[in-house]
Structure 1
Amino acid sequence: MIWFPKIKKMYKQTGIILALVVIMAGCLPKEVEVEADGVITDSRDGKTYAYVNIGNQSWLIENMNYTDKDSIGSWCYKGLAKNCDSYGRLYTWDAALKACPFGWHLPEDGDWKELEIYLGMDPIEADSTDWRETGNVGIQLKAVWDWNSGGTGENISRFTALPAGIREPNGQYYYIGDITTFWTSTYTDEAHAVGRAMIYYSTGVYRWSYLKSGGYSVRCVKD
């Protein structure tokens, strides 16, 4: 069974709280609050995004949901607007390069390594590919809600990674509830670029090169 959070932003004098109200079929709503360090407005479309400071970096804690008027290279999971509202859009690599608002950028591979090492990943392992488990960084990055049964997220970092699924280059959608994959701006050749992935049952973060024509999520880091 797939279920989706409805997101609203609440502002308090003591700080900015991003409240995510999770509604599941047959269950009463429950609220999980993530304390944000600020909120930005994307001047291109007026959408707002919360961010947190992690080490010396500032990261959005919501996936980008920006598209230009032609919507070229980005999609809602299975074409459903409610999935864009919950999880943001899925972008090709070329579209991902243009997705972030002014003052923010699609992170380089090195930006992700800095985040992972700050959260406890061994620096040598951070340079490797495949699953990297030291520091249980995946647990720290994943939200505590919305992942399928057996999910390991604790969201200690407040990064709030949600299981947005992916769009394959052939146009098929897979793994909502199970997996999230994020683009970086670092490419390995004309057809591939580096990304990060998390799956519901793993404590780690996957580092690999993906076809640029695939559809994956975008998180932005401050310039």
Structure 2
Amino acid sequence: MIITIFSLVTTTSCTKDNFPILVGPAVTDPISVTDIDGNVYPVSKICDKFWMTENLKTTRYNDGTVIPTNLNNNNWSATTAGAYGFYADLAANNTTYGKLYNWYAAHNPKLAPVGWHVATSAEWNQLVACLSGSSVAGGKMKSTSALWSAPNTGADNSSGFSGLPAGWKSTTGNYSLLGDAAYFWSFDERNATQGEYLKLVNDFASTATNGATKTFGYSVRCIRD
């Protein structure tokens, strides 16, 4: 009786006996992610999670649904649906800082590219803790760019997060704090009228978290699922 033995080899070269060779797919860390509009965002691994290192810019949810924009101030203040603006309605600010979404958009699971999601409060807290706590994490998350108003206290961007001071769109539709602060929505709700957010400011190395009325327009960062 002849017994035939097959050897399973995971290699990139043939064996001398010409046994079948199985080569698995290469496992690589992502260096970018592309949204449904074709915007490409750099990606960095920060504290064991893959984060976008630029603010979200998409005009559509990942199923192709258009997100409302160009709302007048009354409609912006009154809406309970997802919407966005960009600072002072200037295209150059959209290019540099991304969109300012209300919380209703940030809370939509389809806002992020497929396979990604808007950062949750727990994930923001984990990031801050990993970066040695709220008293210094802001400096590690802020870009050293001159786009920040002086003094850009503690900023060294050692995390690679590259936070920029995109300011906000207020509940009444006005814009403020460009150069001075960055506000990032969390996916989570604080209560019936407020969503959770994380803040970076020019004159502190710290981070702060709080709740804000859902019709503020803040930046959004996404994490890979």
Displacement, 1:97?
Answer: 2.7
Find the counterpart in structure 2 of residue 140 from structure 1.
140
Quick one: distance in 2 between partners of 1:156 and 1:165?
22
Find the counterpart in structure 2 of residue 90 from structure 1.
100
- Whether 2:59 is the aligned partner of 1:57: answer no
Deviations 1:97-156 (A, max 9, x none): 3431111101110001111111111xxxxxxxxxx41xx100000000110121121100
Find the counterpart in structure 2 of residue 104 from structure 1.
116
Identity %: 30
Displacement, 1:37?
Answer: 6.0
Task: Give 1:71's match in structure 2, choosing from 61, 68, 72.
Answer: 68
Task: Give 1:38's match in structure 2, choosing from 31, 34, 42.
Answer: 31
Cα contact 2:148–2:179 (8 A) shared by 1: yes
Q: Aligned AA for 1:159? A: F
Quick one: distance in 2 between partners of 1:196 and 1:41?
24
Residues 70 and 54 of structure 1: CA distance in aligned 2, closer, same or farther (over 3 Å): closer
Find the counterpart in structure 1 of residue 126 from structure 2.
114
Quick one: distance in 1 between partners of 2:30 and 2:142?
18
Displacement, 1:47?
Answer: 1.1
Unpaired segments ≥5 residues, structure 1: 1-35, 122-131
Q: Aligned AA for 2:144? A: V
SS state at 2:187 partner:
strand
Instruction: Return the structure number with greater strand share.
Output: 1
Task: Give 2:39's match in structure 1, choosing from 47, 71, 77.
Answer: 47
Find the counterpart in structure 2 of residue 185 from structure 1.
187
Q: Aligned AA for 1:200? A: N
SS state at 1:67 partner:
coil
Find the counterpart in structure 2 of residue 124 from structure 1.
none
Unpaired segments ≥5 residues, structure 2: 1-28, 61-65, 70-82
Scaled by the length of structure 2, what TM-score is found? 0.75
Find the counterpart in structure 1 of residue 213 from structure 2.
211
Quick one: distance in 2 between partners of 1:150 and 1:188?
31
Cα contact 2:51–2:224 (8 A) shared by 1: yes
Displacement, 1:70?
Answer: 4.8
Task: Give 2:157's match in structure 1, choosing from 143, 155, 158.
Answer: 155
